[in-house]
Structure 1
Amino acid sequence: MRALTALQVAAALAVGVRLARGRDRLPALTPVTTPDARISVVIPARDEEGRIGPCLEAALADPVVAEVVVVDDDSSDGTARLAGNLGAKVVTGAPLPAGWVGKQWALRQGVEAAGGDIVVTLDADTRPAAGLFGALAAALDGYDLVSVGPRFVCDGAAEQALHASFLATLVYRFGPVGPPIPPPPHRVVTNGQCMAFRRPAMLAADGFARVRGHMADDVALGRILAADGWSVGFLDAGGLLEVDMHASTAEVWREWGRTLPLSDATRPGWQVADLAVVWLTTALPVVRLATGRPTRLDLGLLAVRLLLAGALRGSYTRPGPGVLLAPLLDPLTAARLTQATLRPIRNWRGRTYGGVTTGRSGRPAPPARNGAR
């Protein structure tokens, strides 16, 4: 028991240091409508006919956007037709090469097809507000790669509670969005739902090829580029971007639980440390409270967790009671992260992928140069 208590104290101290960074975090992005740059928006899409419309309409309506490029990744529905009818430039994706995950292959093709100096990549389920693209372009004055934290659309108390419980694990492991001091490359966090970069630099780095086999491609990309010397920013764009990620509680459990362990972008030692933090500071106090045997440290950790739950209300477009009830689900969330870490899930949208191919350095091996550009 003494060993467990010592570990819990160490985990609590680590969490305290990370949460304390929130006092100095960078301010949220504000709208910018007159950027001095040509901006291309690139959206990878596979069977997105049912939800890509609002994203396209918002991007196409923004006067600072020069073009919207939709890369149709072998869709079986009317994604390409809808995108073309709305006014996007549609790129028919080439067949998926061996060793690639579909999203990275689509993004690489989209960046090559884009004509703007600055590229903003969006997922089809995002809802950008006016001024987002200009704000991202302005942020690139201080960074080489920018990604942002949005506000989430979650309907129903159960879906919102589970989502908020998963979201809390990110804060406990990496701290709040908008860190004032960039973390070391191996602890960089990025959000692939919305990223911005300068097109020539990304083409030169061939970043998407270097993470071609990753399921946690966004974090892997940020960490590899940060190790190359890129300045990587993770900023708050909650007032300018909404994301409707999942249609049900079951989908939150299946899909977000699949990606949040970041197992193919994180060293094994850090995976163990991150899981230990989640179990010791979120799950264990709830379990002990439920059994009537909480320690003083458990009660303190529960108080901190409730404070975080209140703070995370701002991460949702329509926060309800589910956000405050989220701590009750922390043991389930810890179990899901552990399961997905030990048995990574490598399927998405009807495709099953093999493992990541790495070179001697432990990074993804560089692609063969074949003049594809």
Structure 2
Amino acid sequence: MRTGAAGTAGRPGAGRAGTGARVLAAAQAAAALVVLVRLARGRRRLPPLAAPLPGPPPGAGGRATGPGGGAAGGGASAARAGRGVAPDGGRPGISVVIPARDEERRLGPCLRAVLADPAVAEVIVVDDESSDGTARLAAAYGATVVRGRPLPDGWVGKQWALHQGLSRARGEIVVTLDADTRPRPGLFGALAAALRDHDLVSAGPRFVCDGFAEQALHASFLATLVYRFGPIGPPAPPPPHRVVANGQCLAFRREAMRRADGFARVRGHMTDDVALARALAAGGWRVGFLDAGGLLEVDMHESAAGVWREWGRSLPLRDVTRPAWQAADLAVVWLAAALPALRLAAGRPTRLDLALLAVRVLLATALRRSYARPGAGVALSFLLDPATAVRLTQATLRPVRTWRSRAYPVFPAGGAAETGAVRRGARPAPPARSAAR
């Protein structure tokens, strides 16, 4: 009888199993190295957005108040029409555009915060064929309501709403916000200041997640973004095809975006924010993704099921990423996040698994700053990494093209921003940059 290594070698399939284990170990080591390199960029991140020092308001004249003394109502809207659009005191006027489809339940807190900020010249709510009282609520607060026109073929609703809102904006700077955002005083001044060094600024918020399951699943999804793209605020811009952005809050100069026809260029994308940022970065725009956790909160979902369904749908970035990069990103998530958690649950972690779990726990500690009320869900989010990897894989292989009761056609993998499926005209030219910027 042969024993030891000779006996093992003699068993059918033992050699292949050993080779497969070595290949898997090598792949996991490579994924670990990639993650560590990306995480190391966080030591040199750009500083987070901060409220500018107090100074004179950007507009002409005093504050307008609506009924009850709040910055709402028709009086506020009328006063804003003449304030802030023409720069005063060296500060540009700021127009805020909010696309809204059936957002009556979530829009109020956003409008109250925006209308109370003296840096804002006008607030435009584009009512995207809502079936509820979105338009009525926005008008009652004093925002300018744009009744959205019917959705043309080839357009996704949000881009169409933003395209219409941009055409109505008069401020030198335009900030787009989702209805579930909660701006804090100083956000808009900070965004305007950031545009001195960037052409498009995307703000990373602090998330409002209530409940253990919702917070844990959300933090697990967020960790996959860090593993794939590194921390927010990279010191050097990534190549255009690896740029990421957060469409919940974008800032840009109005005329530059109009010349680029940016929203029309990505009109068919579900992952509209990343598609816009990558298309403009490819044309020479300086795109910044900056931490704004101290100035912006977002209440995205109402439950863990909402996180799974909605964020899990968009985070694979399938329609803006080429297949090779999709496969590489999924491999990093599976090997560096999901596999260590699975082996830990089975009681068979390797030393590399334990090292990766330690890195993941340290990341969870850092991610606590990304939540308004961090709890145990953030700390234990690594336990859900296998489920998150499954969801990302599912959404990559079977992308969902429905949103807010609308269904959209599927574009080829890699998306229109790269394949040209929805692009029209020439590549956007870099915006004109003056010494004042």
Whether these two folds match at TM > 0.5 is yes
Query: 2:269 maps to which residue?
Result: 214
Which secondary structure does the structure 1 equivalent of 2:380 belong to? helix
Equivalent residue runs for 1:198-277 within 5 Å? 198-277=253-332
**What is the CA deviation profile of residues 48-85 of structure 1, one whole-angstrom value per residue up to 9, with x for unaligned ones?**
00010010111011001000000000000000000011
Q: Residues 273-292 of structure 1: matches in 2 within 5 Å?
A: 273-292=328-347
- Please say if 1:351 is aligned against 2:371: no
The answer to which structure, 1 or 2, has the higher relative contact order (CA under 8 A, 6+ apart) is: 1
Consecutive unaligned residues of structure 2, counting only runs of 5 or more, are 1-20, 59-90, 427-437
Aligned counterparts of 1:177 and 1:364: Cα–Cα separation in 2: 29
Work out whether residues 210 and 364 of structure 1, in 8 Å CA contact, stay in contact via their aligned partners in 2. Answer: no
Q: 1:187 to 1:359 in 2, by over 3 A?
A: closer
Q: Quick one: which amino acid aligns to residue 254 of structure 2?
A: R
Does structure 1 retain, via aligned residues, the 8 Å contact 2:46–2:233?
Answer: yes
- Which of these residues, 353, 360, 365, is aligned with residue 422 of structure 2? 365
Shift of 1:307: 0.4
8 Å CA contact 1:210, 1:367 repeated in 2: yes
- Matched residues in 2 for 1:129 and 1:225: separation? 28
Contact 2:275 2:417 in 1 (8 A): no
In structure 2, give the amino acid aligned to 1:155.
Answer: D
Equivalent in the alignment of 1:79:
134
Partners of 2:278 and 2:417 within 8 A in 1: no
For 2:363 and 2:416, locate their aligned partners in 1 and report how far apart those are by CA, in whole Å: 40
- The alignment partner of 2:377 has SS state of helix
**For the Cα contact (< 8 Å) 1:213–1:355, is it kept in 2?**
no
Are 1:155 and 2:222 matched, yes or no?
no
The gaps in structure 1 that reach 5 residues or longer are none
Q: Distance in 1 between matches of 2:264 and 2:300?
A: 25
1:27 aligns with 2:47: yes
Pair 1:134-2:189 in alignment: yes
* The one of 33, 37, 42 aligned to 1:13: 33
1:109 maps to 164
Matches within 5 A, 1:15-94: 15-32=35-52, 34=55, 36-94=91-149
Is the contact between residue 279 and residue 417 of structure 2 (CA under 8 Å) also seen in structure 1?
no
Per-residue deviation at 1:163?
A: 0.3
Question: Would you say the 8 A contact 2:98–2:178 is kept in 1?
Answer: yes
Percent of counterpart pairs with the same letter? 73
Contact 1:211 1:364 in 2 (8 A): no
Give the Cα–Cα distance (whole angstroms) in 2 for the partners of residues 289 and 151 of structure 1: 30
In the alignment, structure 1 residue 294 sits paired with structure 2 residue 349: yes
Q: Secondary structure at the match of 2:96?
A: strand
Residue 106 of structure 2 aligns to a residue whose secondary structure is coil
Match of 1:264, SS state, is: helix
State the aligned residue count: 369
AA aligned opposite 1:5:
A
Verify the 8 A CA contact 2:206 2:298 in the aligned structure 1. Answer: yes
Q: Quick one: distance in 2 between partners of 1:157 and 1:365?
A: 41
Is the CA contact (8 Å cut-off) linking 2:31 and 2:332 kept in structure 1?
Answer: yes
Secondary structure of residue in 2 paired with 1:71: strand
Contact kept? 2:265, 2:424, Cα under 8 Å:
yes
Query: Alpha-carbon deviations, 1:321-340, whole Å to 9, x = none?
Result: 00011000000000000000
1:157 partner letter: F
Which 10-residue stretch deviates more, 23-32 or 348-357? 348-357
Which amino acid letter does the alignment assign opposite residue 178 of structure 2?
A: D
User: Which amino acid counterpart does residue 116 of structure 2 have in structure 1?
Assistant: A
Shift of 1:364: 3.8
CA–CA distance in 1 between the matches of 2:326 and 2:134? Answer: 37
CA RMSD of aligned residues (A): 1.4
**What whole-Å deviation, never above 9, does each CA across 1:110-142 have from its counterpart, x for those lacking one?**
011101010000000000000000000000000
Cα drift, residue 367 of structure 1: 4.3
Q: 3-state SS of the aligned residue for 1:261?
A: coil
- Answer yes or no: is the 8 Å Cα contact 1:31–1:131 preserved in 2: yes
Task: In structure 2, give the amino acid aligned to 1:92.
Answer: R
State how far apart, in whole Å, the 2-side matches of 1:360 and 1:57 are: 35
- Find the counterpart in structure 2 of residue 144 from structure 1: 199
Is 1:342 matched up with 2:397?
Answer: yes
Q: Is the 8 A contact 2:268 2:416 kept in 1?
A: no
Q: What SS does structure 1 have at the residue aligned with 2:267?
A: coil
Aligned in 2, Cα 1:24/1:368: closer, same or farther, shift over 3 Å?
closer
In the superposition, the TM-score normalised over structure 2's length comes to 0.83
